[in-house]
Amino acid sequence: MAKIVVVTSGKGGVGKTTTSAAIATGLAQAGHRTAVIDFDVGLRNLDLIMGCERRVVYDFVNVIHGDANLKQALIKDKRVDDLYILPASQTRDKDALTQEGVERVLQELSADFDYIICDSPAGIERGALMAAYFADEAIVVTNPEVSSVRDSDRILGILSSKTRRAEQGEPTIPGRLLLTRYAPERVERGEMLSVDDVREILAVDLLGVIPESKAVLSASNAGVPVIMDVESDAGQAYQDAVARFLGEDRPHRFLTVPKKGLLGRLFGG
């Protein structure tokens, strides 16, 4: 039985797809069979971030409609073993994701995988609700910025009331916060909400903090999940987050501005 994990945020552009790609890749690198599904019907993008856009033949909606089977639609990652991508459809039919269809696909994947990562679209419409509905765990991606934090709180509310677990009266899914685009120097100047501020407002566990980093754009330019850029701060922060997700206790890094003394310059921050 796979563990189903939704990566969600409410607000768009905060890093859901970047995070889905990174976490899925990290889990697969740790030896877990992982499938990552793009739930953003109409606006397929996970394939680009994962660098497999030219290998898309069938998609999620094709599988739901029975036009293709899972084996035909799943794209095997060329770099990491045990990593598979199920791309979103580019149909404009927003009702293409039926609850029964999604459930059937997740069940079928469940038999064969350890983790299923559901990359949610922005908003609180059907696609987002479907991505969250069957989840066992949730990663809430948030930027240290007012509208993102407010939307995350909204999403946490939905996770606690509108998922299958909630409807069946089971313990609701523990949403965990992943704070992205964090700029410690701006936090120190009082220009940006600190990680403690966001934690205090949202009152959830912290999975990780990803620093604002040039590596994220470079990685998406190249179609390589940023977690594979092991030299970069963002890549390392995602590796920490994956380790924590798997139960390891790791201290949070990249929360403060590296000291710029002579020694710091000589030996790197």
Partner 1 sequence: MSFFDYFRAQKKKSAQVAKERLQVIVARERVTRNGPDYLPLLQEELLAVIRKYVEVDNDAVTIQLDREGDCEVLELNITLPDGRGR
Binding site for partner 1 (CB under 8 A): 145-146, 149-150, 153-154, 157, 160-161, 187, 189-194, 197, 200-202
In the bound complex, what is the minimum distance in angstroms from residue 135's beta carbon to partner 1? 19
Instruction: Report residue 111 as tokens.
Output: 């038999």
In the bound complex, what is the minimum distance in angstroms from residue 129's beta carbon to partner 1? 15
Q: Rounded CA gap, 257 and 155, in Å?
A: 31
In the bound complex, what is the minimum distance in angstroms from residue 190's beta carbon to partner 1? 3
| Residue with Cβ nearer partner 1 (43 or 201) | 201
Kindly report the backbone phi and psi dihedral angles of residue 196, in degrees, each rounded to the nearest multiple of 5, phi listed first.
Answer: -70, -40
| Residue with Cβ nearer partner 1 (189 or 250) | 189
The residues, ordered by sequence, that sit 6+ positions from 256 with a Cβ below 8 Å of its Cβ are 184, 188
Burial (CB count within 10 angstroms: exposed 0-12, middle 13-18, buried 19+), residue 207: buried
| Residue with Cβ nearer partner 1 (67 or 191) | 191
Q: How many helices (H) and strands (E) does the chain have?
A: 13, 8
| Residue with Cβ nearer partner 1 (81 or 197) | 197
| Residue with Cβ nearer partner 1 (20 or 148) | 148
The residues, ordered by sequence, that sit 6+ positions from 157 with a Cβ below 8 Å of its Cβ are none
| Residue with Cβ nearer partner 1 (87 or 211) | 211
Q: Which residues of 57-79 are buried (b: 16+ CB within 10 A; e: fewer)?
A: ebbbbbbbeeebebeebbbebee
Beta bridge partners of 139: 7, 176
In the bound complex, what is the minimum distance in angstroms from residue 198's beta carbon to partner 1? 9
- AA letter at 50: M
Length of the chain: 269
In the bound complex, what is the minimum distance in angstroms from residue 161's beta carbon to partner 1? 6
In the bound complex, what is the minimum distance in angstroms from residue 191's beta carbon to partner 1? 6
